[in-house]
Amino acid sequence: MKASYLWAAPEVNPINRKARSVPILNVFNVYGRVFFFSWWGFMVAFWAWYTFPPLVSIIPLALSSHTHTLENILTRTLKLTHTIKANLHLNATEVANSNIVSLCATLLIRLVAGPACDRFGPRWVFAGVLFIGSIPLGLAPLVHDAQGLYISRFFIGILGGAFVPCQVWSTGFFDKNIVGTANALTGGWGNAGGGITYFIMPAVFDSFVARGYSDGVAWRLTFIVPLIITIATGVAMLLLCPDTPTGKWSERHLRAQQNLESHGGSSGVIVDVPGNITDKASSVGGDSIRDVEREKEKEKEKRTQQQEDQNSNNWDHEAAISKRDMVETAKGEVVQKPSWGAMWRVLTSPQTLFHVVTYMCSFGGELAINSVLGSYYAKNFPQLGQTDASNWAAMFGFLNVVTRPLGGAAADALYRATGRNAWGKKAWINACGCATGALLIAIGQADPHHLPTMVGLVALMAVFLEAGNGANFALIPHVHPHANGVLSGITGAGGNLGGVLFAVVFRFTDAGTNYAKAFWIIGILTIALNLLFCWVRPIPSGQVGGH
């Protein structure tokens, strides 16, 4: 890895034009621009999804460690919390129910968004999620009671589905050697939106109050800010970014075939695309076979010249890959239009079940632990008070900005170190899962009442738990690459399902008061499920592409 990779135009796969490095700092480059909109779009969606700050636990997901700043933020958030609860006449049960409604909605949207990405392309699905989600976001100020809140939060939950096109779009622009890092960065940075809402929304609320608006009006006006940014992000995504590195989503098969032929690959059976490329010339009527072949040769020379012009202009630089890799890329790694039969084969494969279960443990565990960690700190350390307990709980979510990318980068490093063997990535997922489970058991059994011990164990557990999220979506691009959207969607939904199931464990363990016992129960489940599926091959036997 070189520092220049952060801004230089990347080398690309000559067939699918996927980049082999991530120009994070270069938004003028098409790959850097798509990377930016992948994480930015997801961050904006996540922020808008959590725009109702009182209806989420008052524990920031990703905040600064400066105590004074946190105290100010929490004070403003508490004020906004009490204002909305009083204005809508809500009780604690209704708030908890609205959280569950929102998670269930996101689960459903992620299931639908996956196949939609394969059908229409992730850029259009991404923008569509932002546009559709902005409708209930804009109507949220009209809520006046608990029933209206449930309806509003359900449809705002559409925005949580943005995670799927975020990952599928990123996968479409970055090659297998670096896709784990790219996906983990876009996912990890996007998650910061859940913390940004604690900075922005109370500040916007205070600004409206300072302008003379009543509290009941001010909290409703705060929705204007995320609404405008959500719509603007969707528009910019459509205007400034392409569907794929090769152009339009509808032409992805054609471009792969053309690139393969221009690099000396065989034609006819690699990619089934419309037009002259796979058609045989007819000798009855029309042009002669010789004329058709001459036209094909001219078109091939024209494409080669265009490619040379692109390289001379430093638009991209082709990486050297073998002919076998070229053919496999063209034949097995171009996303296919989903059919019910193909989706069923993907959904019922052991590899899909492995990803759903392991992501259910990692991301599901993260969601559930986030919801109780502040209360756990307050119970074991009552001398902290609510503010300091929230400060320490915030660390768990804040680490996600670093640890999730670390998990993806480590998976890519293992893939390269093992000679491009996907077993390296899969072993890392299982290792993260088992380490997470062991640390959850340790926390539950120790039930620490010594603050440094508690903080240390939670931080170490967070490293492996959140790295497991990044590792999971580092391997997914290798598995069923022709149906990446379908697999990404079902896996993302599995994470939400895990959040609901583990939340049930916390709620019904000694009437929701024994956090330590719930921790070790979840730890045992995490280890058991990871070991149960450790035998599954990382890539289906006989799969073309993805290696």
pLDDT in tens, 160-177: 999 999 999 999 999 988
Q: How far is CA 59 from CA 42, 203, 217, 390, 441, in A?
A: 21, 17, 25, 5, 23
Q: Which is nearest to 189 in space by CA: 69, 62, 74, 64? A: 62
Supply the pLDDT for residue 82. Answer: 59
> pTM for the full model?
0.82
Confidence of residue 49 (pLDDT cuts 50, 70, 90): confident
Confidence of residue 479 (pLDDT cuts 50, 70, 90): very high
Burial of 285 (0-12, 13-18, 19+ CB in 10 A): exposed
Confidence of residue 54 (pLDDT cuts 50, 70, 90): very low
Task: Specify the range with the lowest mean pLDDT, choosing from 139-148, 276-285, 453-462.
Answer: 276-285
Supply the pLDDT for residue 83. Answer: 66
Supply the pLDDT for residue 299. Answer: 63
Distance CA 183, CA 329 (A): 20
Supply the pLDDT for residue 247. Answer: 87
Q: How far is CA 469 from CA 32, 186, 275, 407, 521, in A?
A: 23, 12, 42, 7, 20
Structure tokens at 227: 């609404």
Mean per-residue pLDDT for 62-80?
49
Average pLDDT of the chain to the nearest whole number = 82
Structure tokens at 119: 């059908």
Q: Which helix (H) or strand (E) holds 299?
A: helix 289-312
| Radius of gyration for the chain, computed over Cα atoms and rounded to the nearest angstrom | 25
Supply the pLDDT for residue 75. Answer: 54
Supply the pLDDT for residue 271. Answer: 46
Confidence of residue 192 (pLDDT cuts 50, 70, 90): confident
Burial profile 356-378: b = 16 or more Cβ within 10 angstroms, e = fewer: bbbbbbbbbbbbbbbbbbbbbbb
Q: How far is CA 344 from CA 112, 349, 448, in A?
A: 14, 9, 46
Q: How far is CA 282 from CA 79, 261, 286, 300, in A?
A: 77, 21, 8, 20
